[in-house]
Structure 1
């Protein structure tokens, strides 16, 4: 009797249907390490700004897998002389697992506890104690290392590496469309169908046929707009700052109040002790952390309690832009804030966000980017910005801003410290700090 072919279907708001017809992929999705991604928000604190952005790393990873599967199957059918079908499974597994090591509020958490989500991803894939590793070892004993090497960019086939990590890869293509959908921002929309029709494998990577150049150009602009309008939104960054200060205060208090933290936030203790295992890391997720913050609202330490309450109830700090040359002059604002009664170590912060929308390959850099190659009709390759004046205008230039965050009480009209407020606001014009040299 013939065995019925496996096919599971995930209904997805971005890609409609995501079919899974490979047992290895389905078994990976079912692992506890991958299922944990349901409890990790894709955009972290951005959901406090864009209320629809409640989507998870789980949904994103499925989307990246789906795009990678479509591309590898198209390569297998249309480019058998350039692409080896033997690379399909390793590419699809790397796409599915590329974010499996992300932690609770990952980037902010990493800055406080010195963790590295990419290193954790590699550990989940390669350590024999994980369910993910057990599934991959069924393919071959060395298959976990192959998948991990794609994540670390060390895999021998650059076609595979660039599909997972480059300036136009399956990861970025999914998160732009997905984040655009869930935030309600249309900036991230681009013609994925067209890009997938013109992508082609070349000897040492991937390229795009010139017929689809404008779709690639639109993708670059969409990515730029999403960073400027969504990922770098001042309110989302205010929540990041608040989260950072909250964890910093808890870390400071822990040595003197171990019993309290063992009772109210036990899964954080290994991180306070700087002695955590992979299992400890996987025990944390956004929900666990938020529960701990709710517990800390009643802590007798006024700063920890206030910061926890501010996070849980979304009481955000205000911010102003500043120029690098004026950074040293921000102390004048800190002095006013301290005079009012706020501890500036916890109630002020500087936050910088900059992104390079596109760049050329520069081998002299520590982490050079893989440039986007456009394939002319005669088969020759031309770097994208040489053909697109629009992309050229964004090439090699970072975009973003520096912000100084402070208590919103400094701007309230009914404040009890009127003189200090007037002194504070005298340094601000049009959401920008006036340095001493320009005031």
Structure 2
């Protein structure tokens, strides 16, 4: 069965899945380690593991594969320290979730059924979901998804529920229903909203860890916020998780930090340029394979199931960043000029240049593409339109197709107020998309006559003049 069919099945059985038992797990049945295991971590200092099932999951081949997938993908070409992996991030999300639960156990334990306080039978499913939430990511994550139309969340659920995986075998040792319970947290159908919001909301363990971790490894201090304070003021209520009023400014700081990280790190034009090159490189390899131009000795055998749109979970789990990079090294010696050149640009960090445009200047793009082609570059592979937009915070809008769980601030009387109604800073950026649109092109289009007097082509001068006339060039460093 292919993963494409599995995705269809997953979508088709949503209603059936609600028939599973979601009553939680008796922690007395979950085996504790003889001695707590710890992992040293630059963000959390120590990551604490008490349950054998967690350590066993960490040791599975499926989870260990995450060591070989970079957390920030092509951003490592912009921020040289950003070499951290999905593995370390997943451990960090687990630890953050463990600390949230520890606070709930100590300060908000349930006293009567349905009182909205923390039910400790939910602990193990939350910890396992936190640890495994990213296990379905492929090599170079979102770029790979775009080219081959995969879905890392659907694949995460399949890894958890497929009897063929070591992850599933370990989860079934808790109970036959336990893998489905964990998977339901990933797809947001688990009936306890507190567990779901721990892993996926506008202020969850996932986002809090990756902001701090990415800030640490990129050296960008404005991504830092007071995690300890936020965890301290988190509390449960019947419909999910809220934050005490006295901790509002720590939450406010988190929102601003997230806004700044997107602007300065995640949307950096050079990272997006390298992503464009990677995307075009994979597209070119796919095109050559489909036209029969890749010889057997040079065909990327582990990618062929994806080129043919007929891959299994086992095919998917064989891939990581290193596998793709190895194929790119081979492609450096391939006879196709475009494939060879794009592989070199990606491996040796030769990003495309870019110019920001808007609705008033986008009419210039077609002629710029023509000039790039006149200079000898195939515009299909050497130009691109790339846009990156994000909502720093999205207040709940009932009419929205994808309304998000809003951040609730609990008042002294127990009432709830949505964050942006109390914080002028958050209100100022609520619901406002931030980002830009860029036109990417070869850096060579900006060369001057003095760069190569004998080879200088007048088309370069025309290209540069056209950019200036349209005011497309911006001063942002690339």
State the TM-score, normalized to the length of structure 1.
Answer: 0.96
CA 1:223–1:429: 2 relative to 1, 3 Å? farther
Looking at structure 2, the residues matched to 15 and 166 of structure 1 have their Cα atoms a distance apart, in angstroms, of 21
User: Is the 1:322–1:403 contact (alpha carbons within 8 Å) kept by the matching residues of 2?
Assistant: yes
Q: Could you tell me how far apart the structure 2 residues matched to 1:304 and 1:261 are?
A: 16
Shift of 1:262: 5.9
Structure 2 counterpart of 1:66: 95
Per-residue deviation at 1:367? 1.6
Which of 221, 235, 244 is the aligned partner of 1:209? 244
Aligned match of 2:49: 20
Show the counterpart of 1:54. Answer: 83
Partner of 1:421: 460
Moved more, 45-54 or 419-428: 419-428
**Equivalent residue number for residue 357 of structure 1:** 392
Deviation at 1:258, TM superposition (A): 6.6
Contact 2:60 2:166 in 1 (8 A): yes
User: Partner of 1:101 in structure 2?
Assistant: 136
Mapped contact 2:62–2:166 kept (Cα < 8 A): yes
1:309 aligns with 2:348: no
The unaligned stretches of length 5 or more in structure 1 are 435-439
1:5 paired residue among 34, 58, 63: 34
Task: State the alpha-carbon separation in 2 of the partners of residues 197 and 368 from structure 1.
Answer: 27
Residue of 264, 275, 295 corresponding to 1:240 = 275
Helix, strand or coil: the match of 2:83? coil
* 1:157 aligns to 2:192 (yes or no): yes
TM-score between the two structures when normalised by the length of structure 2: 0.88
- How far apart are residue 106 of structure 1 and its match? 1.3
Return closer, same or farther for 1:200/1:111 CA change in 2, 3 Å cut-off: same
In 2, are the aligned partners of 1:207 and 1:372 still within 8 Å (CA)? yes
The 10-residue stretch of structure 1 (415-424 or 147-156) with the greater mean CA deviation from structure 2 = 415-424
Report the Cα distance in structure 2 between the residues aligned to 1:262 and 1:367, rounded to whole angstroms.
Answer: 47
Of 219-228 and 377-386, the range deviating more from structure 2? 377-386
Cα distance in 1, alignment partners of residues 181 and 469 from structure 2:
53
Q: Answer yes or no: is 1:136 the counterpart of 2:171.
A: yes
From 382, 396, 411, the counterpart of 1:347: 382
Alpha-carbon contact 2:69-2:86 (below 8 Å) kept: yes
Map of 1:34-433 to 2, 5 A cutoff? 34-81=63-110, 82-257=117-292, 260=295, 263-413=298-448, 414-415=451-452, 416-429=455-468, 432-433=471-472
Q: Give the paired residue count.
A: 432
Residue ranges of structure 2 left out of the alignment (5+ in a row): 1-31, 111-116, 474-478
Which piece of structure 1 moves more, 291-300 or 413-422? 413-422
How far residue 62 of structure 1 moved from its aligned partner, in angstroms, is 0.2
Q: How far 1:161 sits from its partner (Å)? A: 0.5
For 2:469 and 2:225, how far apart are their aligned partners in 1?
Answer: 33
Deviation at 1:365, TM superposition (A): 1.9
Q: Give the whole-Å Cα distance in 1 for the aligned partners of 2:362 and 2:462.
A: 18
| Matched residue, 1:437 | none
CA distance in 1, matches of 2:428, 2:437: 22
> Helix, strand or coil for the counterpart of 2:142?
helix
The CA deviation string for residues 193-219 of structure 1, in whole angstroms up to 9 with x for no partner, is 000100001110100001110000000
CA–CA separation in structure 2 for the residues paired with 1:353 and 1:389: 25
Q: Distance in 1 between matches of 2:250 and 2:153?
A: 30
**Counterparts in 2 of 1:430 and 1:321: CA distance versus 1, 3 Å:** farther
SS state at 2:385 partner: strand
Q: Deviations over 1:18-50 (max 9, x none)?
A: 111101111100100000000000000100110
- Contact 1:357/1:395 (<8 A) preserved: yes
1:57–1:99 Cα contact (<8 Å) kept = yes
The more displaced of 63-72 and 73-82 is 73-82
- Aligned-pair CA distance for 1:377: 1.2
Change (3 A) 1:258 1:269: farther
CA–CA separation in structure 2 for the residues paired with 1:375 and 1:432? 48
